Structure 1
Amino acid sequence: MNQTIPKDTFVFLKALSKNNNRDWFNEHKKEFKAIEADVKNAYNQLASLLNAHDRIEKVKIFRIYRDVRFSKNKLPYKTHFGGSFSRVKPELRGGYYLHIQPNNESFIATGFWDPNKEDLFRIRKEFEMDDGEMRNILNNKTFKKTWGGFVGDALKTAPKGFDKEHPAIDLIRRKQFIFTKPFTDKEVEAPGFLETVNDDFKVIRPYFDYMSDVLTTNLNGESLL
């Protein structure tokens, strides 16, 4: 298995960023289609690696075309590739994301980007009751070295109904529960890149196991499934 991203990918995306118009893109459509096919193959390879230790329900590779209807930025094409990997619902929560972009802007992300109102409240109530297990996961040496800490949006103060002086308020006021890890172009183009990504995603598993348990039980620990 050729577990890497094709070298032509960055060359094409850099050229596209300098010629982000329909005429240029149409002239290079055949080249794009060949690169897109290779990139899709790489994403599917990663899905196979993930399925060896997890259960992936869906792979979604996002289109290169931008929706400019409600955007001030009217450039028609994205200058990156992105794809997400959803775990089997409802028992397994969370998902994975791989972003390929030149100039050392590639990254992987994982976690909970936009939890619905009910899930967000359930997570916050769990942290209000006991944040110990979450702290242990976050403070694990391997986990911390691989993923650092939470990134994403948080409230500036306590959510309604929660004590702003609560010891776990740093966790409770979060609106997103995500982690990211950057990669250089050289790292992305290196042999075995997809295996590296897969190994990084393996490290997130205790977090996913914990959050899946929280989101499939009530506050008494009784299953909702």
Structure 2
Amino acid sequence: MNFKNLIHFLTELNKNNSKEWMDANRKWYKEVRDDYISWLDKMDLALAAIDDQYYSTPGKKGINRINNNLMFHPNKPIYKDHFGAGLDKRPNTGDFYVEIGIEQSMLAGGFWRPVPKTLRSIRDAIDYDGEELKKILNKKSFKETFGDLVLDEKLKSAPKGFSNDHPHIDLLRNKTFAVLHSFSNTEVLQEDFEQKVIKVYQEMLPFRRYLNKAVTV
């Protein structure tokens, strides 16, 4: 995968974020996109080899559109400043998100502001066995890789059906249950980047499995 070419393309696109520029550079865009899809296919096979529960997700299925959704975000530029994709995309579960951007890239997983039914299922799991989730979140290697949960809005008090003195109230008040690990461009361009992706995937796996079990059982 020529990540240097991908980052160069995104840098130029960010300077000239218009349909006219994209149309004039459509061949370059397709070249970069196809290269990224091929790399996703490679990672799809690599992750399947280390995870017996992995849900095969070819690059074409996993890759996200580069266009921003201007209907809901009219003030955003036409095109994103990154290439994003989801792997291990089993239906109705949280996938493993891979984003390569201009200044930094990231791997993320979990649920970002899930729908009420899904959020309730996660909270019910925490109510039943929150200690298991805390054990995952507080593991030394997990902390070193992700820090804490992604910072997002939290309820000011206990969600409906739970008390303010619940032993896991800090977790229950979350609206988002996700973690992320960032990479610099220098790291992305290094030869061992794929191995680092696999290592982060493995570290995140218990967290994702806990959440996926909560929303599917």
| TM category, shorter | 0.7 to 0.9
The answer to whether the 8 Å contact 1:158/1:172 transfers is: yes
- TM-score normalised per structure 2: 0.87
Indicate the residue corresponding to 2:179 in structure 1. 179
Q: Aligned match of 2:73 in 58, 71, 74?
A: 71
The answer to whether the 8 Å contact 1:154/1:174 transfers is: yes
Q: Aligned match of 1:19 in 16, 19, 22?
A: 16
Indicate the residue corresponding to 1:49 in structure 2. 46
Indicate the residue corresponding to 2:35 in structure 1. 38
Coordinate RMSD, CA, aligned? 2.0
Indicate the residue corresponding to 2:102 in structure 1. 102
Q: Aligned match of 1:86 in 85, 88, 91?
A: 88
The one-letter code matched in structure 1 to 2:133 is M
Q: Give the Cα separation in 2 of the matches to 1:35 and 1:77.
A: 15
In structure 2, stretches of 5+ residues that fail to align are none
Query: Shift of residue 87 of structure 1?
Result: 4.1
Q: Give the Cα separation in 1 of the matches to 2:18 and 2:38.
A: 26
Higher helix residue share: 2
Q: Give the Cα separation in 1 of the matches to 2:178 and 2:74.
A: 27
Q: Give the Cα separation in 1 of the matches to 2:76 and 2:123.
A: 39
Q: Give the Cα separation in 1 of the matches to 2:213 and 2:72.
A: 38
Indicate the residue corresponding to 2:200 in structure 1. 200
| Superposition pairs of residues 163-174 of structure 1, within 5 angstroms | 163-174=163-174
Indicate the residue corresponding to 1:211 in structure 2. 211
- TM-score normalised per structure 1: 0.85
The one-letter code matched in structure 1 to 2:177 is F
User: Relative contact order (C-alpha < 8 Å, sep 6+): which is higher?
Assistant: 1
| Superposition pairs of residues 118-197 of structure 1, within 5 angstroms | 118-151=117-150, 152-197=152-197
Indicate the residue corresponding to 1:221 in structure 2. none
The answer to whether the 8 Å contact 1:50/1:56 transfers is: no
Q: Identity over aligned residues, as a percent?
A: 34
Aligned partner of residue 164 in structure 1, secondary structure? coil
The answer to whether the 8 Å contact 2:110/2:179 transfers is: yes
Query: Shift of residue 65 of structure 1?
Result: 2.2
In structure 1, stretches of 5+ residues that fail to align are 218-225
Deviating 4+ runs (over 4 angstroms) = none
Aligned partner of residue 158 in structure 1, secondary structure? coil
Aligned partner of residue 96 in structure 2, secondary structure? strand
Distance 1:65 1:145, change over 3 A: same
Query: Shift of residue 117 of structure 1?
Result: 2.5
The answer to whether the 8 Å contact 2:17/2:79 transfers is: yes
The one-letter code matched in structure 1 to 2:142 is F
My pick for the range that moved more, 160-169 or 206-215, is: 206-215
Instruction: String of CA shifts for 1:165-196, please: whole Å, max 9, x gaps.
Output: 22210111111110011110111111121221
Query: Shift of residue 130 of structure 1?
Result: 3.5
Query: Shift of residue 210 of structure 1?
Result: 2.7
Query: Shift of residue 74 of structure 1?
Result: 5.5
Query: Shift of residue 37 of structure 1?
Result: 1.0
